[in-house]
Structure formats: structure tokens, C-alpha cells
Structure 1
């Protein structure tokens, strides 16, 4: 492979802002695997955000990229999985598997797509020092004839339209809106773009905690919500606390500690049991955990906190939540899925046609 921009390259990043800034260019924020595609003829490398190649996990996409990208180019974008009219991040995660036979099976069963949103190199020319307005124009021209499953991300230059997108596109599983200065150069691993994501709040049961990886203090608290049958589900964690607060929480939570056998998640006392009942355990290992210790200290489900979250992925919070306040005025039984706001559905196929 001989390109003017060679792998590995850390992708350019975005910093979170509460409101969409007026910078002149707006795109949907896709929820997939950030990927920089390097193509030199028949050689294709899919570089991930951590700079490790993902090429072997998406053989069907490699072939599609050969058919739709210029012979020699470097394109920044996102690998996504479309299920019905929505993005399916959980399904996309399943594509990362060590067994080649399963990789091939999933490539046929749940084929992926690629959405390009920046052009770093074309032919023998390095475009990273060019302003984004020129790179975007070059991307649109280079991928003008691209067909599914390869797309150019839709974009608008109008702030009012971007604000409409922020509300509208969430119903198809999108993350929010990205704002990109038109005069910006491509700066790997620098937060020079802006992302505006949804934030909501929910009252959750504190059902356990994990120890901090470096000290005998609370690392994260495990959150639960009740379903209509009264079963408490593990829905995520809250983890961002000052060190002094982490220390104080050890004593605050100690009176609520209980044996796992007396806990609603007692059926998950071992990973084997959890696997048998088909439930996701708060202490489970997976191919994403890299052998980390996710065991937890069970607590009587009596404490309630309010957390901020962006959106749900299935029946869990997609990302780590943010602590807002304790809710001594709420009963644990009132912490149900019914309180969660659901965005109106929107057809993902219509988004990919937008310009």
C-alpha cells in the first residue's frame, strides 16, 4: 500500500456542546464504528478509532468499498448496521468475533454499510491541510456514483434545519448532530468539531457498585429499572465522581450491602447461570471486556438517584450516565421503564437520501 496518508491514523474528534453552534456545516451523528478506510487498488484497510484494523470483521464491506470508492483514496466515516428503519448498534457489536466462520456467517446475515464524511487523500494528493469545505466538495465528487451500502453522509448548511434534524433523526437511532467549521483542516485526535447530543434524565435504583480500579473507593454504581412484571433489570452505570466523593460513598453504601443470594440479581451469582437464562449480567465477561474484573458488590435496592442519559440502546443506557442528584423522595418501585421518553420513529432510509 502506497498512499499519501498511510495507516494508522487517529480520527479527528468532536467536543460536546449543549447547543448546536453556528459554524456553517451540519451532519447527522451516526452511531456505529468510526472508521478510516485506506484503499490502494485491491488493498483495503479499515482503521478503527484505536488505530487497530477491523478489516477481517467486515469482508462484505471491503468488497463494496472496492466497487464504490476511487482506486486510491483515504476516507473517514462510520461503519453502521441498518436493521429495518433504524440503526442497530447492538447488532453491529456482534460483528466483532474471533471465529472466522462466524464472521462470514454474520457478513451474510447482518451486512454492514459505510457512511463517508471526510476525504483525507485522493490519488497521490494529501488533502488533510485543505479546508473542510474543499474536502467535502471533493468527497461528494469522488463518491457521486457510489451505491448502497456505501453512502456520503447528508449535510446542511442551515442552522435552523440542523436543529430540526436534532429532533427528527433521533427516531431512527442517530446520536445527535455534528457541526464542522468549513475552514478547518483535518487534525487527527484533536477535538476541533462539535457534537450536540440528546440529554434526558431518569430515576434509577442503585442495585450495587464496583470498586475503583486503582483504590479502595467506589468506582461506579450499577443502575436498575423495573419492568411491568416487577423484575429489576441492570440498565447501566454511573461513574463520574470526584475522588473525595468516591471515598465518602464507601461508608454511605455500606449499610445497604447484602449477600448476592438475597439480591434480585442473585440468579447471576455465576456467569454460567446468567448465560443459561439468557440475561445480561452486571458482572459478565465478554469479548469487549478483555478480561477485566466486573464483579460487583450487591446492595439492597432501596436507594434512588437521578441520572442524565442520552438515549437507550435496547433496554439499556447506550453510554455511561451522569449523576444528577439523590432522590430520597422516590420509591424504588417507581423507577420503571415507563418513565423513559421515546422519540418518534423516523425511517433511516429517508435520512440517507437527504441532502
Structure 2
């Protein structure tokens, strides 16, 4: 990335996001892994998982401050920069549109890891430390099996969720946000202490993605199905990358009626 700076005019500053592309999808976890490495390890991963910078705004262009320009003018300057300088990888221009039909089509690109869209006002200025955009995330309702909880069986605080794979093994898919008092009270009577041979026996679960801190969990009999609200972000292991939001219990469903792991 440092070597690619030569493609830009001197004293140019872009706003954007680093991404890693792997197996036809955006792989956020690969970017996180690169950020945690140093020296030889960082160089090796840079070769294995090259990053791209997706630009969506320009703050300074060849020494000229552009933050006071309206967004439509900054966007035009950004597009001209890519065209005239013929920028190539790792630089990439984020697509932009004002056509609602195109926006609707983009929202179907979830299979490649697109989580949602950003909206900016055409006349908006770039104000430091002020969020000048809005984010719309694609969310959907999904069913999952409760395999463990944080807290206790009597007062669960969050749910660790799984789905069965094609071999009938319970695979971990994600964790819920902290349950409300009402949700905890609804779930608790439906939880059962785990029997011997729980598929997650001996497993550890991280408190947050990319950290080494582990959660203290209580395994439960994996027979309770719940409905959760999720966004579409997945990691390379096909797990939900962000915490899910509990919606309701589904005692009417058995674990084998839940969509299989990876769906």
C-alpha cells in the first residue's frame, strides 16, 4: 500500500476503507489478522491477502483543501482523479449513484459480503469529527439453536448459537447481544442442563472478534430453537460476524428443522 502512494498527486488525502478480497467475497477477518501481525508475519500475509483501498471521498487534492466543497463536487473530483491518473490496484473507486433502482440492486449483493450502503447528502461538507453520512444495514430474521449461554441457566445474559451441518454436528454460528430482562425470563424456563457428550465440550469462545479474552459460558442441551435478527456479514467460517438480536423463542421447531450450517 505504501508503494502505491506514488500513483497519487503529492499532498492528496483520500477517505475510504481497506478491504481484503478472498474466494469471491469481502473477508474482514483477513484484514484483522493482518493488523495483528508484525515484521515477517505481516509481510507474508500482505502477499497472501493483499488489501485494497476503496476510496469514497477526497479531503485534499494536490495541496488543495476540499473539505469545504459540497459532496457532489468532491465526488466529481475523486472520479476525475481515478480517470486521469489511471489509478490501479490497490486503489479502487467506491461506486456511487442517485438512482433508487440501482440502490435496490446493490442491496442484493450480500453473497459477496456487502453489509449495506452509506448515504451522503450531495450538498454536505466534510466536517472533521462529525458523521456526515448514514448507514443502512441489510438485516434478516434467522433461526438458530442455543448451545450455550453466558450468565446462568436461571438468568441467561446472552446466547451462543449453532446450526447443524450436513453430518449432524452442531457448528457455532454466533452470539446474541445482551438479553433484556424480558427476553432472559422467556428463555430461561426452556433451557436444560447439558447431558454428557455436548458437542462444544472443551471449546473456548472469545469475548469479541479479534481478542484473546475468553467468555465464561454454561453449556446447555442443544434442543431450543430461537429466532434472531442478524445482519448479513459473515466471516470465512460462515459465522455471523456481528452479534445477533434476540427476537423470540421457537419451541415449535426442532433443531433439525433449522436451516443447515452455512446457509
TM-score category (smaller protein): 0.7 to 0.9
CA distance, structure 1, for counterparts of residue 90 and residue 216 of structure 2? 40
The equivalent residue for 2:58 is 119
CA contact (8 A) 1:226 1:232 kept: yes
Task: After TM superposition, give the deviation of residue 158 of structure 1 in Å.
Answer: 1.3
Whole-Å separation in 2 of the counterparts to 1:327 and 1:154:
40
Q: Which residue of 2 aligns with 1:187?
A: 127
User: When the two structures are superposed, what TM-score results if normalisation uses the length of structure 1?
Assistant: 0.65
Quick check: 1:206–1:304 contact (8 Å CA) kept in 2?
yes
Cα RMSD of the aligned pairs, angstroms, is: 2.7
Q: 1:178 aligns with which of 118, 121, 129?
A: 118
User: What is the CA-CA distance between 1:240 and the residue it aligns to?
Assistant: 4.5
C-alpha spacing 1:158/1:306, structure 2 compared with 1 (3 Å): same
3-state SS, counterpart of residue 18 of structure 2: strand
Within the alignment, does 1:304 sit opposite 2:222 as a pair? no
In the TM superposition, what is the alpha-carbon distance from 1:82 to its structure 2 partner?
Answer: 1.7
Of 73, 82, 91, 1:150 maps to 91
Is the contact made by 1:218 and 1:246 (CA closer than 8 Å) also made in structure 2?
no
Q: Could you say if the C-alpha distance between residues 108 and 319 of structure 1 is closer, same or farther in structure 2, counting changes exceeding 3 Å?
A: same
**Distance 1:330-1:120 versus aligned 2 partners, 3 A rule:** same
Equivalent residues in 2 for 1:1-355 (5 A)? Answer: 61-64=1-4, 66-144=5-83, 145=85, 146-167=87-108, 169-211=109-151, 218-242=156-180, 244-245=181-182, 248=185, 252=189, 256-258=192-194, 262-268=197-203, 281=204, 283-284=205-206, 288-289=210-211, 291-311=212-232, 312-313=234-235, 314-337=237-260, 340=263
Q: Quickly say closer, same or farther: Cα 1:103–1:222, change in 2 above 3 A.
A: same
Question: 1:327: how far off?
Answer: 0.4
Q: Within 1, Cα distance between the matches of 2:221 and 2:209?
A: 30
When the two structures are aligned, how many residues end up with a matched partner?
258
Matched-pair contact (CA < 8 Å) for 1:69–1:143: no
TM-score (normalised: structure 2): 0.85
Change (3 A) 1:96 1:166: same
Q: 1:197 and 1:139 mapped to 2: Cα distance?
A: 25
Shift of 1:296: 0.9
Unaligned runs of 5+ in 1: 1-60, 269-280, 341-355
Q: Residues of 2 paired with 1:288 and 1:236: CA distance?
A: 14
1:198/1:247 Cα in 2 relative to 1: closer, same or farther (>3 Å)? closer
Is 1:68–1:143's contact at 8 Å kept on the other side of the alignment? Answer: no
1:255-283 deviations in Å (ceiling 9; x for gaps): 52337x54221142xxxxxxxxxxxx4x2
Q: Which residues of structure 2 form unaligned runs of 5+?
A: none
Cα distance in 2 for residues equivalent to 1:189 and 1:299: 45
Distance between the aligned counterparts of 2:102 and 2:112, measured in 1? 17
Deviations 1:187-227 (A, max 9, x none): 34544423233222221111111239xxx964321001000
**CA shift in 2, pair 1:218/1:73, >3 Å:** farther
Task: Summarize the Cα distance change of 1:285–1:317 in structure 2 as closer, same or farther, 3 Å threshold.
Answer: closer
Preserved CA contact (<8 Å) 2:140 2:230 = yes
